[in-house]
């Protein structure tokens, strides 16, 4: 049975930290493939203006084009309305029934998992994988992991990977300040952001 992970996120923009996480998951979990899933209208970010989904999709596509084990799906950005993880997992599990599914997300999502819609269904449809992020200590993560596992009777996989302290928020902030961010981004992504003058007039 093929082992495939869905890596969801706004990817606004995708950066080298995302690729680092994907490779760590690929080898750490012995995955066959990772599907990058740019979100369409994420319910947790409706208060922030998110870059057009087509642009975010093309940036991700450009960032992963040289890795055969990475794919991209436009499923969520092509949907109308809000994008919910349980709907995405339900769709893919029905479409590809000979796949063991993994869902890859940051540990910040583990901390507020009870606010997710149909979390019980999500945990039934996939192996839920969280990776560490700056600002969280390991003890705090493991305590929350145990709490969620007891509540829902499902195991959570914690990827304790070396951190690259890069975030899309920080990339956008640096662009707005006119600072050089080329070392945070895949070359093609950087060049496209510069060409289209995304996030700022100065890059």
pLDDT of residue 134: 84
Cα torsion through 64, 133, 196, 49, rounded to 10: 120
Element (H or E) spanning 149, and its range? helix 138-152
Taking all residues of the chain, what is their mean pLDDT, rounded to a whole number? 92
203: pLDDT confidence band, cut at 50, 70 and 90? very low
Query: Does position 15 have pLDDT exceeding 60, yes or no?
Result: yes
Topology classification of domain 2-196: Rossmann fold (3.40.50)
45: pLDDT confidence band, cut at 50, 70 and 90? low
83: pLDDT confidence band, cut at 50, 70 and 90? confident
Q: Domain coordinates of the chain in residue numbers? A: 2-196
From CA 168, how far away is CA 81, in angstroms rounded?
A: 23
Query: Does position 43 have pLDDT exceeding 80, yes or no?
Result: no
pLDDT of residue 90: 96
pLDDT of residue 35: 98
162: pLDDT confidence band, cut at 50, 70 and 90? confident
Q: Which residues pair with 104 in a beta bridge?
A: 7, 129
Q: Which residues pair with 35 in a beta bridge?
A: 6, 71
Query: Does position 47 have pLDDT exceeding 80, yes or no?
Result: no
- Asked if 12 and 95 count as a contact pair (C-beta separation under 8 A), the reply is no
Average pLDDT, integer, range 15-26: 97
């Amino acid at each position: 049975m093929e082992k495939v992970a869905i890596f969801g996120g706004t990817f606004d923009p995708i950066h080298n930290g995302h690729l680092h996480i994907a490779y760590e998951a690929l080898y750490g979990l012995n995955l066959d493939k990772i599907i990058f899933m740019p979100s369409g209208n994420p319910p947790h970010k409706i208060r922030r203006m998110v870059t057009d989904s087509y642009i975010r999709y093309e940036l991700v596509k450009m960032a992963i084009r040289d890795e055969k084990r990475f794919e991209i799906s436009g499923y969520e950005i092509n949907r109308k309305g809000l994008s919910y993880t349980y709907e995405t997992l339900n769709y893919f599990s029905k479409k590809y029934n000979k796949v063991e599914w993994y869902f890859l997300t940051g540990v910040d999502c583990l901390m507020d998992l009870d606010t997710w819609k149909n979390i019980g269904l999500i945990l039934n449809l996939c192996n839920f994988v969280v990776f560490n992020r700056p600002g969280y200590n390991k003890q705090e993560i493991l305590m929350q992991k145990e709490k969620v596992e007891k509540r829902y009777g499902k195991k959570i996989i914690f990827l304790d990977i070396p951190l690259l302290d890069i975030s899309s928020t920080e990339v956008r902030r640096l662009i707005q300040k006119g600072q050089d961010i080329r070392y945070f981004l895949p070359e093609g992504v950087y060049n496209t952001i510069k060409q289209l003058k995304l996030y700022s007039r100065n890059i």
